[in-house]
Structure 1
């Protein structure tokens, strides 16, 4: 009898591992092992100002060529000699120069920003890059998040100012404090959501054109237009605001003008706006982009040479704020820009982050308008208001485009802009001197 010790479940010997035997010989590596260092991170210029400037040259002359929003990072090429910048100039990969004493810091890693300084970039793939609203007056704007007690007070330390006149804001986030919802504006101020009237996307949009045969094109600009039996006043139906139709010819019935559609019906001429083809000004090249604005009809047609590509309605300057007649050229493009000034009715106005803005003379511009939907009628303080969807289309259609990461570019030679009234052409282009141009606003 054989005696065993230990647990009955314990094996008497280690189990086989069943591993393959190592090779008897192994070839030595062709080269010694190397420790490869990680590639250095590329250096970038990080914007710290709300709109940090990019300059044309590394010089004290400081001629700005563009703007970059806070916390945007741009690839840096190398440090360059220059004057007027205490901490040094750097060339950007895409062109231009930044000063590390003026809005930028250069490093291989992003520097964290306080939450109060962080800027939400515009949503550029949408017609409206932000949420917009009208602020009631005299609603408070807070420079920091107020406490519940400060919200109830409405006049204590965190109140920066009280809204006056016509005040529109752009929002980038919302939070809740106590039982109240607050919104933060793009510039970092806080408002009570109950003081806001949201501004939805305007319903008007233009029409992409397939060629000159698409014009004339009529747009209904009243709430409801009567559709008539041609040559009479008999109503056959109605068309809603912003409906459009191709025009065959123009008629008169009992002294009142009518517009005859190619589909056979007619409409009263004063209930529609008609976008017509316009001959290319002789200063405009055969392949140039140009934009015609008919101030009488409140229409805009964009061209590539002699080919029309877009027609839409606009709202230009009201009486006393009319835009200049003549031929101009876009020289600044801003993804968004804030406009403010005096208003004869409200006293003052402030319109934050006006989208898709293209300046053509001084402070006169084409831009999107989020605060109204009355296109086809004069309204503005001098600028030409466009439906946001069309303003965005023109912004990206027009050349030159903004470099990646830039919020604005200035000093460019963009599309021509031609303002006319009636059938006669203006006497000539506007003066080239920007400083003499009067102020304009949305």
Structure 2
């Protein structure tokens, strides 16, 4: 069986959902650290990006995206390479980071101070890198993260099993230098930390059982691990599934939601709506006693409001001129809409901050995007966590980001430490549409004058929100007391 098929088989046979809350904090020095090498067989089909400007009010609009230039060649480097905004200036503003061991395009090379070897190369997004540790590659560069064929996530994700929830006992998981050391019965290299998600790139099966192998060839036994089974949920493309003017796009968050003949708890059951199924409702609530109900016209039935989330249109955003693309997050019903001007084109469910770690309200810009990043709790956190290999990360305020969540399927309910959790499919979809546009072969990019970040509005209902955008190039990395 091919490696990717074995990985899928392992996920299906052992997959259980990680019950920890979503992780959001990545310390500033970690925002663009090199990520583990990922299994590469096939990339996801690209989605059409926006060509609209994303300039905040009072600032000149950024130019629309242009056709890419023809590279003069490709290079690859074993360490991740920092991209600077100026040639021959290691102290210049950081523009992004090129992925380790992944080809990237260059557009000319010049010798210069502070860079041994081939010299300084011009790369995409008006950036420059030192080629001291790079070598010639045949290319071409690929959009990151690269996905194994038939999968929606770049890794196999797993954590040590919880053996007893009452006592908190967690499995002792040895890790070997490689699969051969494991099979021979050599002394383990170390032991996996508890309460931490790990990434693996392939599987092997031997007499000792199913093994999971990471990017550094280290091996562990799958029997000691709880393998994540990422959600298959995805949102609604309104061009393909338009919604009637007097209705709202909605999703079931009941397991399942019950359809009744009348808006009463004791009314006859006429059907069910499977978890996360999409439908349309009449948005006018029907109040019966202490409960609210909604009519489901297509089923000629009613559903209790607690079992249904629906998209609520927000006030027009004056800053979104013409057909500019922007993101509208609504916390009351836990939804996100991709907007073109004042019209939604894609709507879906999210999971925002829960408890004392709420998601901040306001108007923001995406200031940095990362193809893959680890996320961890802040210093002295009451609920410490570490999740590795989080894909499609988009920071919009301090340590708050939109990103994929592979450890739960509770979209439509508050679940995170403050970030906006999206399903893997939705996270990839949104990431591909927004600015700044991370070039092929790169792992991260910060917004800059030539490619400003997409606007993000986080609201609750129709209440106005403060404009919390910062000047271009300025980042507030203050840690919030509740974490994110």
What TM-score, normalized by structure 1, do the two folds share?
0.77
Alignment of 1:396-407 (within 5 A): 396-407=432-443
What is the aligned partner in structure 1 of residue 128 from structure 2?
A: 97
What is the aligned partner in structure 2 of residue 299 from structure 1?
A: 335
CA drift at 1:336: 1.6
CA drift at 1:347: 5.1
> 1:279 and 1:143, CA in 2 relative to 1: closer, same or farther beyond 3 A?
farther
Corresponding residue to 1:224 among 256, 261, 265: 256
What is the aligned partner in structure 2 of residue 413 from structure 1?
A: 452
> 1:141 and 1:417, CA in 2 relative to 1: closer, same or farther beyond 3 A?
farther
- SS of equivalent to 1:434: coil
Name which of structure 1's ranges 69-78 and 332-341 shifts more when overlaid on structure 2: 69-78
- SS of equivalent to 2:432: helix
Higher relative contact order (Cα pairs below 8 Å, separated by 6+ residues): 2
CA drift at 1:85: 2.7
Alignment of 1:103-122 (within 5 A): 104-107=133-136, 121-122=146-147
CA distance in 2, matches of 1:150, 1:348: 36
Corresponding residue to 1:73 among 85, 91, 103: 103
What is the aligned partner in structure 2 of residue 438 from structure 1?
A: 479
Report the count of equivalent residues.
386
Corresponding residue to 1:273 among 309, 320, 330: 309
CA drift at 1:322: 0.9
What is the aligned partner in structure 1 of residue 86 from structure 2?
A: 57
> 1:256 and 1:277, CA in 2 relative to 1: closer, same or farther beyond 3 A?
same
CA distance in 1, matches of 2:217, 2:98: 17
Does the 8 A contact of 2:157 with 2:200 survive in 1?
Answer: yes
What is the aligned partner in structure 2 of residue 428 from structure 1?
A: 467
What is the aligned partner in structure 2 of residue 242 from structure 1?
A: 276
Does the 8 A contact of 2:436 with 2:445 survive in 1?
Answer: no
What is the aligned partner in structure 1 of residue 46 from structure 2?
A: none
CA drift at 1:324: 0.9
Q: Deviations over 1:108-133 (max 9, x none)?
A: 779xxxxxxxx995449853122222
CA distance in 1, matches of 2:468, 2:86: 30
Alignment of 1:242-391 (within 5 A): 242-248=276-282, 249-263=284-298, 264-341=300-377, 348-391=384-427
What TM-score, normalized by structure 2, do the two folds share?
0.71
Q: Deviations over 1:326-380 (max 9, x none)?
A: 0111122222211122699995322111121111112211111111111111111
Say which structure is richer in strand. Answer: 1
- SS of equivalent to 1:407: strand
- SS of equivalent to 1:252: strand
Name which of structure 1's ranges 259-268 and 371-380 shifts more when overlaid on structure 2: 259-268
Contiguous gaps of at least 5 residues in structure 1 = 1-41, 111-118
CA distance in 1, matches of 2:345, 2:393: 20
Alignment of 1:10-89 (within 5 A): 43-49=73-79, 51-58=80-87, 59-87=89-117, 88-89=119-120
The alignment yields a C-alpha RMSD, in angstroms, of 3.2
Does the 8 A contact of 1:330 with 1:416 survive in 2?
Answer: yes
Does the 8 A contact of 2:176 with 2:182 survive in 1?
Answer: no
Does the 8 A contact of 2:286 with 2:294 survive in 1?
Answer: yes
- SS of equivalent to 2:385: strand
Name which of structure 1's ranges 266-275 and 82-91 shifts more when overlaid on structure 2: 82-91
Does the 8 A contact of 2:314 with 2:462 survive in 1?
Answer: no
- SS of equivalent to 2:384: strand
Does the 8 A contact of 1:141 with 1:190 survive in 2?
Answer: yes
Does the 8 A contact of 1:147 with 1:177 survive in 2?
Answer: no
Does the 8 A contact of 1:313 with 1:375 survive in 2?
Answer: yes
What is the aligned partner in structure 1 of residue 51 from structure 2?
A: none
Corresponding residue to 1:182 among 193, 201, 211: 211
CA drift at 1:301: 1.4
> 1:389 and 1:93, CA in 2 relative to 1: closer, same or farther beyond 3 A?
closer
Q: Which has the larger radius of gyration?
A: 1
- SS of equivalent to 2:153: coil
> 1:298 and 1:55, CA in 2 relative to 1: closer, same or farther beyond 3 A?
same
CA distance in 2, matches of 1:230, 1:83: 77
Does the 8 A contact of 2:329 with 2:456 survive in 1?
Answer: yes
CA distance in 2, matches of 1:185, 1:74: 24
CA distance in 1, matches of 2:233, 2:137: 46
Does the 8 A contact of 2:200 with 2:214 survive in 1?
Answer: yes
- SS of equivalent to 1:390: helix
